[in-house]
Amino acid sequence: MFREFWRHGSNAALMFGVLIICACAALGFASLSPVWILAGVLVFHLSEYTFHRFLFHAPPSKRGWLLRLQRRLHYDHHVEPSRLDLLFLPLWFAVPNLAITGLIAWALLGEWALAISLVLGAILALLQYEWVHYAAHIPYRPHTRFGRWMKRYHLWHHFKNERFWFGVSNPVLDFVNGTYRQPEGVARSTTSRVLHPNDQ
């Protein structure tokens, strides 16, 4: 199980980035701020919900190259939710987004140490997201009650109705934005596997 997690997607590269940042801090090349690490976690969870709801579920583009990106980043995952090569975010998507996040943080905060701390928090939250997402799609029973609930929560999005339950690793923004529902009160969608059947 753990071996599969590190073999796919960008997970090993992300962990390598965490180790490099922590090594630089331990050797005195960078000082990390716990407050800004936490801020990075919060920024990630905001972006997780926003990307998933508004970008990954956006209608198909008329441009072929953009449609191919949409399919790789999310559409195909709904079609084949158990395929591990479609489960994790690819490195070519994760790294530029983290780099842009770091540059924006540096421009706003004016200190590289704070920007690196924020990026570290975002990477740690991304790894947690990838783990929760992975656990939801493999034959695995999480050890905690909350973990088991989060697994069911994500599977409702895939197999009940794709218009709800966008928070893969954190449900808070679903409650805030009205995209949480009790599953018993939600009709089963006919488009949860093929998200936009009439537009592709």
DSSP one-letter string for 78-113: HHSTT-HHHHSPPHHHHHHHHHHHHHHHHHHH--HH
CA distances from 79 to 72, 87, 89, 93, 106 (A): 11, 11, 16, 20, 39
pLDDT reading at 200 higher than 70: no
For residue 197, what pLDDT band results from cuts at 50, 70 and 90?
Answer: confident
Q: Which whole number is the average pLDDT over 3-11?
A: 86
**Per-chain mean pLDDT for the chain:** 95
CA distances from 54 to 21, 70, 198 (A): 31, 12, 19
Q: Which whole number is the average pLDDT over 139-149?
A: 96
pLDDT reading at 99 higher than 90: yes
Distance CA 57, CA 105 (A): 27
Per-domain boundaries in the chain = 2-185
- Over residues 15-35, the pLDDT tens digits come to 999 999 999 999 988 889 999
Ramachandran sector of residue 89 (left: φ over 0; alpha: ψ -120 to 50; beta: rest): beta
Distance CA 66, CA 62 (A): 8
pLDDT reading at 76 higher than 90: yes
The fraction of the chain above a pLDDT of 70, given in percent, is 99
Residue 67, C-beta contacts closer than 8 angstroms, at least 6 positions apart: 60, 61, 200
